[in-house]
Structure 1
Amino acid sequence: MPMLAATAERLPRLNRFGWLMGLYGENHGRFQRLFAPARLGLGRHRSSVGDGLDLCLDVIEQHRYTTELRLTYAMPDPVTGEPDPSAWLRVYHDTRQLEATHCYIGRRWQDVIGLYPPPAEVIGHRMRMNTFLGKWLEYLGERGHGIATLRGPEIVSEEVIKTA
């Protein structure tokens, strides 16, 4: 039994922040395989696989080290008019990470964790958003969405992207 305790002490522990950075890395790999965002131009790209749920990938900004995107279905929430679900994404090209900065899944983050949440709650919320993103990307891949099914870009105004 003492050998087991010694082995456990030598294994590094992964804290919540480290786990979150790991999620960002995993999501980056999934997203790269599906959509190769560095090759996409600004505007709205649509992916249709014949299931009636067209996917919209809005490339909002591209910079040397980051790309800002929004991933959503072409389907508004009947109550709010917001695309639901939708995820605002930031790709960090140099560190190969993809972060879901905001998600809209029926409610905004302020409604979920409040305006002034403690840091631990912010990390927990980011973990949930990025876990959701990873599962969504897996689902999209299984359904057949990807770079081969993307059409566009349609040039749309920033106001349309914010509300559509």
Structure 2
Amino acid sequence: MCIEVKVCGITNKGDAINSIQAGADYLGFILYSQSPRSTNLDNVKRISDCLKDTSVKTVAVDVVPNLADVVLMQQADFKFYQFHFPLDLEKEKILKWSESVGPANLWLAPKLPPGTRFPEYLLEYAETFVIDAYSQNKFGGTGTSADLESFAKYQS
């Protein structure tokens, strides 16, 4: 088994460099303005300039982005795109994300309430999935443990 590490919430060059020196394979940049660790594409560009000679891969992290924002993320040269969304989001929007960035580059992060089965229809849109502990009012990591046993069958 190959373990890879993503450090998320990068907002400055120092954190990026320290994360790489600690062994991070991926750096996550949160573009969701309501997150306390959010940043913007101008800041991402400044930070990314110091990453050019590294093998670290960058991840754009957002909540239900519109397609115009996804295009801007692509222009910022992110390698991967991690999009959080509620389960009732229309499938057409998820399809558009997948078509825009490609299933190999899309990391889907559905907001799954406790006891909810993983929506298998999502498997056709992305190759990577992020499962966070559920919070009714928040997206992404909350610092609490999630029920991950039910997802073991999806490992390849």
Q: Same fold (TM over 0.5)?
A: no
Q: Greater helix percent: which structure?
A: 1
TM range (shorter): under 0.3
TM-score for both structures, normalised by structure 1: 0.24
TM-score for both structures, normalised by structure 2: 0.25
Q: Greater strand percent: which structure?
A: 1
